[in-house]
Amino acid sequence: MENSISIHNVQIGYQSGKTNKLIAKNLNADLKSGEMTCLLGSNGTGKSTLLKTICGFINLLDGEILVKGKNISLINEKELAKIVAAVLTEKIQVHNASVFELVSYGRSPFTGFLGRLSSEDKNKVNQAIEICGINHKKYSLLSSLSDGERQKATIAKALAQDTPIILLDEPTAFLDLSAKVEIMQLLRKLTSETGKSVLMSTHDLDLALQMSDRLWLLSNNGITAGSPEDLLLNNAFQHMFNKKGIEFDNKTGMFKVAYQLQNNLAIKGHGFEYVLLRRALMRKGINPVKAKENENMFIAIENSTKEPYVLWNNNMQILKTGSVENLISETLSILN
């Protein structure tokens, strides 16, 4: 598969006077054509800096970046704008502008000095708005849009630019869950249907694991790249994301919080009801353990009933309920 972007032994950071502030080094990775790649990493590892460096907004400290096989240092700003479109975290401030007008700015690399839209330019703008699902907001002011709609308009602007590569910095930040999923589905659709390459930074690990073709795990000393499944198989997430009080569970692809467990409580049962009960108990500092014979106090789970939870103490049935909240309350009162 062809590489849209290749980075070799790259160092990124900022130039301050005669000195450089190094943020990350030894960066090597390839962005494949027609794939959606998510860039993940802790705060401060340089995700935004890397994207801005690829876009040419920040100078490369060392190494080599190839865009469509050509060294980025040999590509002028106008030529690069026809290859790479960027959606950054800074909100575009265009007062009293409509969605159509904002998206039209995506055609600026092609419109010349006067910025007049040709019929082809207008078609590109209209197609981008339609693909992003905001045709009903085409002539609405940006100030009237929800955050999700505004983000779609910004992505439409990048799409109207009609570049083979789109880079996005935290496109789902500050959006509610449904809007996050919509944006990810939209980007997934773009790569599948148009063959464009998408590289986006994100903190939404669960969505990235489900929807991206490839992940770049960025640290200060390099990039670990691969498919989500291969990275999970190779335990790539443990080292990067494990912090005090939290750990990454490879089997579920989710983070687990380390609770302060003070008591053990025996459980007889399994299934979804057990999963919910276990989480609630651990949140309250109770460690669920497998029940043994002659347990003094335990919870039995009777699956496929309306009241699956049965609390026993001293050979007496204390409570039978379908509410985890009620069960936990009664359990705590006995333990205390």
Q: Please give the model's pTM, rounded to 2 decimal places.
A: 0.82
The stretch 116-142 carries a mean pLDDT of: 93
Count the helix, strand and coil residues of the chain and give each as a percent rounded to the nearest 5: 35, 30, 30
Q: Where are the alpha helices (DSSP H) in the chain?
A: 47-55, 77-81, 99-104, 108-111, 119-131, 147-160, 177-194, 205-211, 228-233, 236-241, 272-283, 324-335
pLDDT at 87: 93
Q: What is the pLDDT of residue 241?
A: 65
Helix (H) or strand (E) holding 320: strand 316-321
pLDDT band of residue 233 (cuts 50, 70, 90) is confident
Q: Which residue has the tokens 């007496």?
A: 316
Tens of pLDDT, residue by residue over 159-216, are 999 999 999 999 998 888 998 999 999 999 889 888 899 999 999 988 999 999 999 9
Tokens of 211: 């929807």
Domain boundaries, the chain: 3-250, 263-335
Q: Are 160 and 128 in contact (CB under 8 A)?
A: yes
Please, what is the average pLDDT of the chain?
90
Distances (CA, A) of 5 to 8, 123, 213: 10, 28, 15
pLDDT at residue 93, as a whole number: 67
- The token duo for 316 is 């007496």
% of the chain with per-residue pLDDT over 70: 95
Q: Running DSSP on this structure, what letter comes out for residue 3?
A: E
Q: What is the CA radius of gyration of the chain?
A: 26
> Other C-beta atoms within 10 Å of 111: how many?
14
Answer with the residue of higher pLDDT: 252 or 314. Answer: 314
Residue 19 has pLDDT above 90, yes or no: no
Fold of 3-250: Rossmann fold (3.40.50)
Q: Are 226 and 236 in contact (CB under 8 A)?
A: yes
Q: How far apart are CA 114 and CA 154, in angstroms?
A: 22
pLDDT of 298 strictly over 70: yes
pLDDT of amino acid 113: 65
pLDDT surpassing 80 at residue 119: yes
Residue 217 predicted with pLDDT over 80: yes
pLDDT digits (tens, 9 = 90+) for 47-79: 999 999 999 899 999 999 999 999 999 999 989
Question: Across residues 215-230, what is the average pLDDT?
Answer: 92
Q: Of the candidates 269, 266, 265, 246, which has an alpha carbon nearest to the alpha carbon of residue 256?
A: 246
Q: Evaluate whether 141 touches 96 at the Cβ level (below 8 Å).
A: yes
